[in-house]
Structure 1
Amino acid sequence: MQHALRTGRWICITTLLGAVAHAAWAAPGTCDGSSDPCSFDLGRVMVTLAQGAASYAAGAEFLNGEDGDYVFQPNLFSTLALTSAGATEGFSFVPGLQLRVGGSGRNGYHELRGWFEFSGLSFQAKPGWRLDGLQLQVIGSRNVVGDASWSYGLPFALQFNGDSFAGSGAINPDDAAVRAELTINAAYLEGEDGTAVSYGYATAGFESARFVATVSAVPEPGAVALWLGGAALLGAWGRRARPGRAGG
């Protein structure tokens, strides 16, 4: 009995040590801001950018008019931060995208679009781990006044709390190509007496975003064989220890 218990404990300890060893393993990151393929280590998951820094892009443009302004962060690595909590790990970044149209009294219809996007982005679990899912999460805000409106383009719906919004959705880890857009528009029309017949003003922006991978441990074949062997030993010991049936 004591031998079987010692065997069972040894199998559990061996499995746990194997998991810890994989969690501690870290390949050096190769992302240096160039356009060459690169990867970086989240801990239990490796992230690959097929075109390096060029796998990420951000921008903004006027679709109509010119009354407005915008800012955005074109560099992924300047704001990238690794995140880890329990069974999840990933990276966050700040798109820095802020859009504004209207408010200056220029006649016409003014429309502005901004975005960030990834191409050639993939996530792969390290040996001993399984990637159970990947999500993109975004946080931002918008404000619309008068003859103005806004819209968004994301592969999932947003939830709102006043002018603030947040949303998340599943992304394919093998090809995490995604584009996130915001579009705002506003109209201004001045009447003959110099007052505004139509007036609009709108702002919108992405304040933060992050990819979150959910992982779980997968025992290696050797650990599974040890576990099965231990279970077989316990079963055999149980059969030998069971008292025999008395004859009639």
Structure 2
Amino acid sequence: MKPKARQAGIAEAIGQEGQMSVEALADRFGVSAETIRRDLAQLAEGGLVQKVHGGAKRLRLLSEGSFQERMTQNAAAKRIIAEKLLELVEPGDTLFIDTGSTTVIAADVLAPVGGFTVITNSLRIAQIFARADRGNRVFLLGGGFNSGNDQTVGPVALAQIAAFQADHALLTVAGFDVLAGATDADFDESQVARAMIENSDQVILLVDGSKIGRKAAFRVCPARRVDLLVTEDTPDPALQARLRAAEVAWR
């Protein structure tokens, strides 16, 4: 069996069993324990399994806490990400901005600059740009209203997104992995992000370091569809190599 096929089989077996030891995997696939350890290292690097002592276990998909909880998590990192946007967008640009704690902080940073046209499904973000009184034009998408996140979602929101074309889509997600791509923990939010991607010239993903290498249940886009990954720190050399292979720039 070729290594890629064996590794796919290993990932499937661990997904079914929940957790397996190196010895059990070696017996099942008829290879040495050392070969299995190398396979598990590659699978873990790709975000497909989680290594544990003596074996590996199924990678648990992310869930998210309340919006208020997320606003306090990694707030300093999110502020650094937001401030990097000052060099990436400029007055006159049209921006899709989806709902998220990172994008709310980004709105706080960008709104005082002024001169943006903003299309968003987030009531909070719409209010931040409108109240800045700096010549921002704001379009709040309609649709079903989710009071927990103060956002609109669903078919009406998706249909309205199709009426716009933006220079940039500023998006935040629950997880980003080079193999799995950008993923979200909420189906409706993932659909809004996908629609914004389809109607923008550049996709800018705002992701703090805690979300890199992690996966959630709902696919937003493959890594290759992301033009620019903005995070608080410079990616380590291994991640840089994977991003380069996927043709994803970073800041």
Bigger Rg over Cα: 1
- Structure number with the higher helix fraction is 2
Q: TM-score range by the shorter chain?
A: under 0.3
TM-score by length of 2: 0.26
Report 1 or 2 for greater relative contact order, CA contacts < 8 Å, sequence distance ≥ 6.
1
